[in-house]
Structure 1
Amino acid sequence: MRLVQVALIITAVSLAWLPAQAEEKASVSEIEARINQVQMQYNSFTDQVDQMTAEEQRLRQQLTQLREQSSGLERQRRQALDQMNRLYREMVDNPDTDISAAQSEYQSAVRAHQQNLEQVAVKTTELSGKQSESERIRLSKHSLVNQLELLKEQHRFARVNRLRDEFNRRGELEASQSLTCDRDETIRQCESRAELMAKQRASQSYLSTLFDNLSETDLVSERREESGVDVRVVGSNVVSSEYSGQRGYDVRLKVQMEGRLPRNHACELLGLDQRYCNESTSAERSPGEREVVKKPETESVMHRLVIRSNVHNDQVYIDGQRYGSTPVEVMLEPGRHNVEIARHGYDRYETSVDLRESTVVRGELSRSQFVFAAGERIQDVLSSDLEGPSLIVMPPGRGRVGDVSGNGRSNERPVRSVEFEAPFAVSVAPVTVSQFNAFIDATNHITDAEEGAGCAQLQEGQPVKSSQLNWQNPGYEVSDDMPVTCVSDRDAAEYARWLTRTTGKQYSIPTEGQWEYSARAGQRSDYWWGDSVGVGQANCRGCGGDWSGQQPSPVGTYESNQWGLYDTVGNVWEWTQRDKSSGSVVRGGAFNFAPSLARASARMEISSGFSANYIGFRVTRSE
Structure 2
Amino acid sequence: MRIAPLSLLISASLFASCAFAQDTATVTGIESEISIKQAEYDNATQILEKHLKEESQLQSQLDLLRTRSTELDKEKNQALDAMNEMYRRLIDDPTIDISAAQARYQQAVVDHKQNKDDIAMQLAAIASHRKDIEQIRVAKHTQLNTLESLKEQLTTARVERLRNEFTREGTLEVNHTINCKRTETLAACEQRGQQMGLQKATKRFVDQIFANLTEERLVEPKRNMAGAQVQVLSSHVVNSAFSGQGNYNVNLSVTMRGDVNSSRLCNLLSVDNRYCSEYGTPLSTGYQTSYETTFTDSQLTFSDSKDNTNVSVSRMSEQPIHDYSVKPMPTVKPQLDANKMIELTLRSNVYDDEVFIDGVSFGSTRLATTLPSGIHDVEVRKQGYQPYRVRVDLRKPQTIHAKLVKKPESIAAPTYTSEQRNTTPVTSTALGGNAAAAMVVIPAGKFEMGDINGNGLANERPVVEKTIASSFAMQNKEVTVGAYQQFVSNTNYKTEAERNRGCAYYLNGEPVWEVNLNWRNPGFEQSSDFPAVCLTYNDAKAYADWLSGQTGQQYRLPNEVEWEYAARAGTKTEYPWGNEIGKNLANCGWCGSEWSNKSAAPTGSFAPNAFGLYDTVGNVWEWTHKSAEQADVTVRGGAWNFAPSLARASTRLILAPDFRANYIGFRLVRER
Q: TM-score, normalised by structure 1?
A: 0.80
Q: How far 1:433 sits from its partner (Å)?
A: 1.2
Instruction: List gaps (5 residues or longer) in structure 2.
Output: 286-318, 322-336, 345-355, 361-370, 395-410
- Of 603, 612, 621 in structure 1, the residue corresponding to residue 652 of structure 2 is 603
- Write the mapping of 1:413-424 to structure 2, written as runs, cut at 5 A: 413-420=461-468, 422-424=470-472
Q: Is 1:464 the equivalent of 2:504?
A: no
Identity in percent = 39
The 1:238/1:280 distance shift into structure 2, 3 A limit, reads closer
Distance 1:398 1:85 in 2: 66
In the alignment, the residues of structure 1 paired with residue 631 and residue 195 of structure 2 have an alpha-carbon distance, to the nearest angstrom, of 68
Moved more, 117-126 or 580-589: 580-589
Counterpart Cα distance in 2 of 1:201 and 1:41? 52
Matched, 1:502 2:542: no
Per-residue displacement from partner, 1:516-536 (whole Å, max 9, x unpaired)?
Answer: 333333444332233332332
Equivalent residue, structure 1, for 2:431: 381
Contact 2:24 2:161 in 1 (8 A): no
Question: Residue 76 of structure 1: CA displacement?
Answer: 4.8
Could you tell me how far apart the structure 2 residues matched to 1:123 and 1:352 are? 74
What's the counterpart of residue 431 of structure 1?
479
Question: What one-letter code is carried by the residue in structure 1 that aligns with 2:130?
Answer: Q
Shift of 1:421: 5.2
Residue 538 in 1 paired to residue 586 in 2? yes
Match of 2:149, SS state, is: helix
Q: Which amino acid aligns with 2:564?
A: E
Task: State whether residues 430 and 618 of structure 1, in contact with CA within 8 Å, keep that contact through their aligned partners in structure 2.
Answer: yes
- Matched to 1:596, the amino acid is S
Cα distance in 1 between the residues matched to 2:262 and 2:391: 18
1:13 offset after TM fit, Å? 4.9
Identify the residue that residue 171 of structure 1 maps to in structure 2.
170
Aligned residue runs from structure 1 range 202-221, under 5 A: 202-221=201-220
Between 591-600 and 231-240, the greater mean CA deviation after superposition: 231-240
Deviations 1:223-246 (A, max 9, x none): 111211122222223222111125
Distance 1:483 1:156 in 2: 31
With over 3 angstroms needed to count, the CA separation of the structure-2 counterparts of 1:582 and 1:269, relative to structure 1, is farther
**Corresponding letter in the other structure for 2:136:** I
Structure 1 residue 348: Cα displacement: 5.5
Give the Cα separation in 2 of the matches to 1:305 and 1:73: 83
Specify whether residues 537 and 348 from structure 1 end up closer, same or farther in structure 2 by C-alpha distance, changes over 3 A only.
Answer: closer
Separation of aligned partners in 2, 1:260 and 1:440: 60
In the alignment, residue 499 of structure 1 is paired with which amino acid?
Answer: L
What residue number does 1:616 align with? 665
Change in 2 beyond 3 A, CA 1:200/1:608: same
In the other structure, the counterpart of 2:363 is none
In 2, distance between residues paired with 1:239 and 1:332? 37
Distance 1:353 1:87, change over 3 A: farther
In 1, the alpha carbon distance for the partners of 2:445 and 2:69 equals: 55
Aligned partner of 2:236 in structure 1 is 237
Alignment pair present for 1:11 and 2:4: no
- Following superposition, the deviation at residue 506 of structure 1 comes to 3.9
Contact 2:474 2:669 in 1 (8 A): yes
AA matched with 1:430: E
1:299-318 correspondence runs (5 A) = 300-301=340-341
Q: What is residue 312 of structure 2 aligned with on the other side?
A: none
3-state DSSP of counterpart to 2:234: strand
1:154 CA displacement: 0.8
C-alpha contact 2:414 2:570 (8 A) present in aligned 1: no
In 1: Cα distance, 2:392 partner to 2:154 partner: 30
Are the equivalent residues in 1 in contact too, given 2:428–2:440 (CA < 8 A)?
yes
Q: Which amino acid aligns with 1:115?
A: Q
Match of 2:330 in 1: none
Matches of 1:71 and 1:511 in 2, distance apart? 35
Contact 1:372 1:563 in 2 (8 A): no
2:607, 2:132 → 1: CA distance? 41
Deviations 1:481-513 (A, max 9, x none): 110112223333343343333323343322333
Matches within 5 A, 1:110-509: 110-183=109-182, 185-279=184-278, 300-301=340-341, 333=374, 337-338=378-379, 349-350=387-388, 375-382=425-432, 386=434, 388-420=436-468, 422-452=470-500, 455-509=503-557
Q: Is the 8 A contact 1:273 1:532 kept in 2?
A: yes
Tell me how many residue pairs correspond in the alignment.
Answer: 572
> How far did 1:621 drift?
2.8
Corresponding residue SS for 2:645: helix
**Residue 419 to residue 453, structure 1, CA distance change in 2 (3 Å):** farther
CA displacement at 1:280 relative to structure 2: 8.1
Instruction: Write the deviation string for residues 286-320 of structure 1: whole angstroms up to 9, x where unpaired.
Output: xxxx9976559896348997679xxxxxxxxxxxx
* Aligned-pair CA distance for 1:82: 6.2
d(CA) in 1 for partners of 2:497, 2:424: 37
Structure 1 residue 33, shift from structure 2 partner: 1.9
Q: Evaluate the alpha carbon distance shift between residue 36 and residue 252 of structure 1 in structure 2; reply closer, same or farther with a 3 A threshold.
A: same
**Aligned amino acid, residue 498 of structure 1:** W
Gaps of 5+ in 1: 1-7, 282-289, 309-329, 341-346, 357-363
Tell me which residue corresponds to 2:633. Answer: 584
In structure 2, the partner of 1:361 is none
1:173, 1:371 → 2: CA distance? 68
Larger RCO (alpha carbons 8 Å, 6+ apart): 1
| Displacement of 1:146 | 0.6
Q: Aligned to 1:546, what secondary structure does the other structure show? A: coil
TM-score, length-scaled by structure 2: 0.74
3-state SS of paired residue (2:278): coil
Map Cα deviations across residues 236-278 of structure 1 (whole Å, 9 max, x no partner): 2322211112532111112222221243222121011121112
Q: Is the 8 A contact 2:524 2:599 kept in 1?
A: yes
Q: Displacement, 1:592?
A: 0.5
2:586 maps to amino acid: A
Amino acid at match of 2:480: T
Determine the C-alpha separation between the residues in 2 that align with 1:134 and 1:162.
41
* CA drift at 1:160: 0.9
